[in-house]
Amino acid sequence: MRVGLIKPSNSGILGLEMLTFVEPLGLECLAGCLEPAGHPCRIVDMRIDGMDVGMSKIEAFAPDIVGLQSNFTTERNVTLATAAQVRRRLPGATIVIGGHDASRDPHYYLSDDVDIVATGDGEEVMPLLVEALATGGDLKSVLGLELNTPDGPFNTGEAPMRDNIDELPLPARHLIDEYADKYYINFRKPLALLETARGCPFKCNFCSVWKFHKSTFREKSVERVIEELHTIKADNVFITDDIFWLDVHRGRALATAIKAAGIKKYFTVQTRTDIICKFPDLIKQWKECGDLAIFLGVEKVDDAGLKSVNKGNSASNNRRAIEILQELGVGYTCNFIVDPAWERDDFTRLRDWIEEMGTYNSGFTILTPLPGTDLWSTAKNDVTTNQWEMFDLLHTVLPTRLPLADFYDEFSRLWRWLMEVRFKHRSKTMFYAKLAAAVATRKVTFKSLRKGMNLASAFSKPDAFLNRHRELGEAHLTAVTPGLGDAIDRPEPVGHLVGGPDEPCETAAEA
């Protein structure tokens, strides 16, 4: 069977792809399972090609099966629109949708143009599904499917989750060769993704990752990670693990093995501040593996806030971890989510915390109850819109305590203030000199540079966020009464993590 795999176009209104734009690793992992079994695959990234060119590529490939990946809530409508195009141009193909968002809400995707929704780890589902289609087998015997039957949806049961993920084939990275130089993080490119573990044992209420993986944590061996690193050509590597270094002993062994193999990369990782506090020697060791940048889930600036999201961490750990990274000279980004129930004093408190800690490389998104999270369960009745593109973490889909215009005035002021203080504490001449050097050495392109500058400019203006609400009508411009915090079962807000359930990265488990 010939299998076409599509990453649909972006559909967020503003879109975090302005900061980070990553390869469809999940699709590569699926193809890594299917091609050795005799099923030729082609990956089409419509975020780069666009709908017309992308559909022409898929049509020319003449697939028997077309799989579409929908990881994020904002991708719902564009994924279904793409499925409709596939149905029109390839009426005989079996259309399958999978991905993190499809797994957490499969019924949403069962339109007339979709035959099957695959849920769970893609490598456990798709090979058996393709084989059943190839041999005329009974699809109802394949676990992990939501079938669109004439009698209505039919669920085949949960897909298995293997313990030893070393058994999974290497991703078919050759299938994205034509796109490989287009992926980036901030101003660094080309960028590759590397998965070394799946899952998370913690249960933050804004995140659905732990639910997807049923609170499990599965890691690849050091040997397997090194094998995969040898296949990555890009100088920049984003490690997709939700919490890197959770297994500290493996973290040390992996750093030793990377150094011994002579591998030098610019690694970006995501981890917890309590791990940094307990094991600063581990951070020192990883500095020797090349350049290192760390995404910190600060989330809240006080203990009450951390407890409210069930983080299992402390504000003192957040502070101490930042001090350790500053002492070691390791780059980091602190991320916060702004709560729609904030008053003006809450915005001031966040600015004061950043100023005190010197964490000028920070980012802000808006608390968003995404389907599949505990927060969705408590807040869904307060959601003000059914426009899924608004769930891009940069628009509020919950009522605001402040008038909406005032809320976005404060939100955009955060971004504007941050740009100002960055330059205040950094030499403009040195900053632009480094950018010029990056462009000259082709580590940065003018296109990605413009995107970054455009983002900074756009986010500093309230209308960048307000315009979509105006398009939706005046009903979205009203503030909520002071009872909001109790209505959706959350305490007085302080801040949240930008990562959470819709991080700007994709893993094979989200295929």
> In this structure, what DSSP letter does residue 264 have?
-
pLDDT of 470 reads: 85
Of 182, 172, 10, nearest to 82 by C-alpha is 10
The one-letter code for the residue type at 240 is T
The token pair at 52 is: 């017309």
**Cβ distance 68 to 8 under 8 Å?**
yes
Angle between helices 446-459 and 404-424 (to 10 degrees): 130
Alpha-carbon distance 360 to 424, whole Å?
Answer: 10
pLDDT of 116 reads: 98
The token pair at 166 is: 């070393």
Alpha-carbon distance 122 to 103, whole Å?
Answer: 10
Residue 336: strand pairing partners? 299, 364
pLDDT of 491 reads: 30
DSSP states of 75-107: GHHHHHHHHHHHHHH-TTSEEEEESHHHHHSGG
**Cβ distance 67 to 5 under 8 Å?**
yes
pLDDT of 438 reads: 59
Q: Is 433 exposed, middle or buried (0-12, 13-18, 19+ CB in 10 A)?
A: exposed
Domains of the chain with CATH codes: 3-155 (3.40.50.2300), 183-510 (3.80.30.20)
| Each residue's pLDDT expressed in tens, for the chain with a length of 511 residues | 999 999 999 766 665 566 788 999 999 999 999 999 999 999 999 999 999 999 999 999 999 999 999 999 999 999 999 999 999 999 999 999 999 999 999 999 999 999 999 999 999 999 999 999 999 999 999 999 999 999 999 999 999 999 999 999 999 999 999 999 999 987 788 999 999 999 888 888 788 887 787 888 999 999 999 999 999 999 999 999 999 999 999 999 999 999 999 999 999 999 999 999 999 999 999 999 989 999 998 887 887 877 877 788 899 999 999 999 999 999 999 988 899 999 999 999 999 999 999 999 898 889 899 898 989 999 999 999 989 999 988 899 999 999 999 999 999 999 999 888 876 665 555 555 655 665 666 655 556 555 555 566 778 889 988 988 888 765 455 444 333 333 333 332 222 222 233 333 333 333 3
pLDDT of 453 reads: 54
**Cβ distance 152 to 192 under 8 Å?**
no
Q: Which residue has the tokens 């973490």?
A: 393
Alpha-carbon distance 238 to 184, whole Å?
Answer: 10
- Whether omega before 482 lies within 30 degrees of 0, making that bond cis, reads no
* Strand ranges, E, within 126-202: 145-149, 152-155, 184-185, 191-194, 197-199
Of 352, 377, 374, nearest to 362 by C-alpha is 352
pLDDT of 489 reads: 35
**Cβ distance 328 to 287 under 8 Å?**
yes
Phi-psi region of 372 (alpha: psi -120 to 50; beta: other; left: phi over 0): left
